[in-house]
């Protein structure tokens, strides 16, 4: 298994003083995902939770939705050849095997995608190829979220980021209950990978759809993250930064509650405001202008 962090030499300049020291950096390595032995995608990720990442990726692609549809996931031998001619497993290739009878999608050039740690899915043939049909409708049975509960989530996310404290270079995604309880958190150099790791873990535990959760992501809310939330049955997606226009459009189309710029008691609700208890007593600043 690859390491989550690595050490590198760095020259520091502080107040005119030059020094040399080792620095802890987040690891970034490629992961090839194969489906029933055929290459499907390559993503740049932080090693760890690779099986969950692959499973979550396939949930967002509409291939998996229930744990019984997954036969197994295994590491394949990597391409690292040793001096003696043997091949060492680099743990950078995983093969997902579907259970008998589960339809295998047609893996064409359009579907053989390359994903980076910054942008997620790239090279799709068209926007329509991303708009995968969701297995579950976004739940309407969700208790009204108190604004103060939403406001407290970023601090809880930050407090639970163990690797970020050592590197300062990781995104995080977390699932919370409607009451603000932290249910699960994953970190990765790519925010889309962090979400896939969360969703993959939920799949293997039989917790899909995630209809009683709030998904919080560090950074912006892209179309892809909104899609992943919808595909997992998540009713509320919140981000500490801005959403994209397509993310807002998708949220409006599917009934997803989308919150951006979640910083303290300040937030923007771009879609699905019916799930947020606006104007109730005790909510900080909750009044109509």
Cis geometry, peptide bond prior to residue 209 (ω within 30 degrees of 0): yes
At residue 6, the 3 state secondary structure works out as strand
Give exposure, 135-165, as e/b (b: 16+ Cβ within 10 Å).
Answer: beebbeebeebbbebbbebbeebeeebebbe
267, 261 Cβ separation under 8 angstroms: yes
Q: Which of 119, 122, 127, 252 is catalytic?
A: 119
Q: Which of 141, 205, 204 is nearest to 178 (CA)?
A: 141
Per the document, the length of the chain is 289
At residue 239, the 3 state secondary structure works out as strand
Give exposure, 87-110, as e/b (b: 16+ Cβ within 10 Å).
Answer: eeebbbbbbbebeeebeeeeeeee
Is residue 76 among the annotated active site residues? no
> Would you please indicate which residues are annotated as catalytic (active-site) residues?
119
């Amino acid at each position: 298994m690859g390491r989550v962090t690595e050490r590198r030499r760095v020259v520091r300049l502080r107040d005119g003083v030059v020094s040399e020291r080792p620095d802890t950096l987040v690891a970034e390595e490629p992961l090839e995902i194969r489906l029933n032995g055929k290459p499907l995608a390559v993503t740049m990720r932080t090693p760890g939770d690779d099986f969950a990442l692959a499973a979550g990726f396939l949930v967002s692609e509409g291939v998996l939705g229930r744990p019984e549809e997954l036969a197994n996931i295994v590491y394949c031998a990597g391409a690292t050849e040793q001096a003696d001619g043997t091949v060492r497993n680099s743990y950078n290739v995983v093969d997902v095997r579907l259970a008998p009878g589960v339809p295998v999608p047609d893996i064409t050039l359009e579907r053989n995608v390359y994903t980076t740690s910054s942008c997620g899915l790239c090279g799709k043939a068209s926007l329509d190829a991303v708009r995968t049909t969701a297995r579950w409708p976004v739940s309407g049975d969700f208790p009204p979220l108190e604004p103060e509960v939403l406001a407290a989530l970023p601090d809880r996310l930050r407090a639970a980021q163990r690797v970020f404290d050592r590197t300062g270079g990781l995104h995080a995604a977390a699932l919370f209950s409607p009451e603000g309880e932290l249910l699960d958190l994953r970190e990765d150099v790519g925010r889309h990978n962090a979400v896939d790791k969360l969703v993959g873990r939920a799949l293997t535990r039989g917790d899909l759809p995630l209809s009683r959760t709030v998904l919080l992501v560090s950074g912006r809310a892209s179309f892809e993250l909104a899609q992943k939330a919808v595909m997992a049955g998540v009713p509320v997606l919140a981000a500490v930064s801005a959403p994209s226009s397509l993310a807002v459009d998708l949220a409006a189309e599917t009934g997803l509650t989308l919150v951006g710029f979640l910083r303290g008691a300040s937030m923007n609700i771009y879609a699905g405001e019916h799930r947020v208890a606006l104007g109730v007593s005790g909510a900080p600043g909750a009044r109509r202008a």
